With several copies, the nearest count.
Chain A
Amino acid sequence: MVNLEVKLKDLILKNPVMTASGTFGYGEEFEDFIDISQLGGILVKGTTRHHREGNPYPRMAETPSGMLNAVGLQNKGVEYFCDNIYPRINHYNTNILVNVSGSVIEDYVETAAMINELDKIPAIELNISCPNVKEGGMAFGTSCASAASVVREVRKVYKKHLMVKLSPNVTDITEIAKAVEEEGADSVSLINTLLGMAIDSETRKPLLSTVTGGLSGPCVKPVALRMVWQVFNAVNIPIVGLGGIMNAKDAIEFILAGASAIQIGTANFIDPQITVKVVEGIKEYMIRHQVENVTDLIGAIKTQ
């Protein structure tokens, strides 16, 4: 038997496969397709202090091997989440993580504090990297000082596992990773979307209402893999890798590059059963390669 369990410090995942925030709804949208308890964890939608309507339509454009989105963190706010959604989903037999977003530090802090009270939420993912909100969001993730300050403040109120989601839209992601590690982040997840743009040459208009949006899907995989490997060589906290994972082979690549766990995002739209297929595929790979513990693969890339 192969052992798929991984630990992100204190946080135990039955396998390394999680879902990426904003691509898996609250899990409920996938109940028809898969048994959610088979996953290592799920990341629910980006949640903010207050209700957000998100950006106007159009919010999506297909691109070569990927897509741009400009959803803009549409959600009903953390209070609604705690009162209405949490009770509906807290029976899932997997780790439920809330992706916490904001535009000013106080929002992050207040949201995190409220989620801290929810028994069945063992961790939050601090989204300091959303390119789709006007103020804040990505800005926090693109300088060491602001990344550090938001993590520092949230750390004061959030007592469980604090995962910080990094932006790829930076010159040196290792510096940001080190800054948030320094402030007490328990793990980092990367990458969020790359800032991109698409134009309809016929109408001469941008394809997104916000002009620019976040690029995801297999097109970003080489960048994501590189960043995971760079961060693996720079910090001591566990890494959750994501960006363009479409199958088990991709997932293994991220683990080899240094990820302790992975998240699947855009691929959920194309195959709503992809997450459980990736769990199966990782198992098969381990059997074929006689790897007993999936943890033996973490960072096991041979660069010499």
Chain B
Amino acid sequence: MKKLVQDFEVLHKEELNDGTFVIDVKASAPLPDIKPGQFVNVLVENAANTFLRRPLSIHFVDYEKNIIKLYIKKIGEGTTKLGELLLGDKLNIVFPLGNQYSIPKNSKTLLIGGGCGVAPLLYLAKHLKDAGNEVTTILGVRSAYDAVELDPYKQYGRIFVTTEDGSIGEKGYPTQHSVLNEKFDYTFTCGPEPMMKAVATYSKSKNIPCEVSLENTMACGFGACLCCVTDTKRGNICTCTEGPVFNINELKW
């Protein structure tokens, strides 16, 4: 998979609650094959204090329209400036980066996301369904107000929500959802580390494979700087090339 650096055009932007937004960016050339779990590294222009690119998961890919969707939470200057992009603005992107979630066949798969960790799960859900899997997704948010759009997930399987205040869905964390009582063959997760660790514990207790997507501080995103290491059983390895998706067996969790 050849990595590219390209200018994309901002085609659509949708503000969600809680400072998150979804942005559609259009490539000028046909998109290469992009795998679920991969990410892009975007250049934030016009930002006095954002020197390095910002890594963002690929939320969805529309090959027909040549569009990549990004799901972004504003947390600092870089993501805030991205939120200020106007339709028609250009965005320089290095992509596709990283490895991918594995895609089993004809299995019962469980996807658990929290915060902006929901980003890669939509595209993953599509690939899982395409490979004949049954897809169950649980997204954890703080309250109804923060709820993300659930419709897109519905076409690939079942979707559940947990809220910390119980305002919609089940009250609690996604790892406490009652659907976890069912039997699954695989779990896939992305979100805050404590949540992912809870998913890992759950999966270990059920003895099913679990893949997590790690976030850490990256300077390049394509294996050149060695800044993004994760301490694995094989030693320090790069999250940007050998991750961001790891089977929990590889990690020292």
Q: In the complex the two chains form, what is the Cα distance from A30 to B224 in whole Å?
A: 8
Other-chain residue from A57, A65, A66 in contact with B229 (beta carbon distance below 8 A): A57
Other-chain residue from A29, A57, A69 in contact with B236 (beta carbon distance below 8 A): A57
Measured between beta carbons, the chain A residues less than 8 angstroms from B235 are 53
| Interface status of A25 (Cβ within 8 A of chain B) | yes
| Interface status of B230 (Cβ within 8 A of chain A) | yes
Taking CB as reference atom, which chain A residue is nearest B76? A62
Other-chain residue from A29, A45, A59, A66 in contact with B222 (beta carbon distance below 8 A): A29
Indicate if the CB atoms of B225 and A22 lie closer than 8 Å: yes
| Interface status of A296 (Cβ within 8 A of chain B) | no
Interface of B is mostly: loop
Indicate if the CB atoms of A62 and B227 lie closer than 8 Å: no
Q: Which of A4-12, A252-260, A270-278, A281-289 contacts B (4 or more CB under 8 A)?
A: A270-278
Binary CB contact string for chain B from 5 to 30 against chain A (1 if under 8 A, 0 otherwise): 10000000000000000000000000
Measured between beta carbons, the chain A residues less than 8 angstroms from B106 are none
Distance from B217 Cβ to chain A, minimum over Cβ atoms (Å): 5
Indicate if the CB atoms of A53 and B2 lie closer than 8 Å: no
Indicate if the CB atoms of A270 and B224 lie closer than 8 Å: no
Which residues 40-91 in A have Cβ within 8 Å of B in the complex?
45, 53-54, 56-67, 69, 71, 74
Distance from B240 Cβ to chain A, minimum over Cβ atoms (Å): 10
Q: How many residues of B contact A (CB 8 A)?
A: 29
Indicate if the CB atoms of B226 and A54 lie closer than 8 Å: yes
Q: Which of B43, B220, B226 has the most CB of A within 10 A?
A: B226
Known: A57-B230, A57-B231, A58-B217. A23 touches B43 (CB 8 A): no
Binary CB contact string for chain B from 207 to 229 against chain A (1 if under 8 A, 0 otherwise): 00000000011111111111111
Measured between beta carbons, the chain B residues less than 8 angstroms from A57 are 216, 228-231, 236
Indicate if the CB atoms of B227 and A59 lie closer than 8 Å: yes
| Interface status of B51 (Cβ within 8 A of chain A) | yes
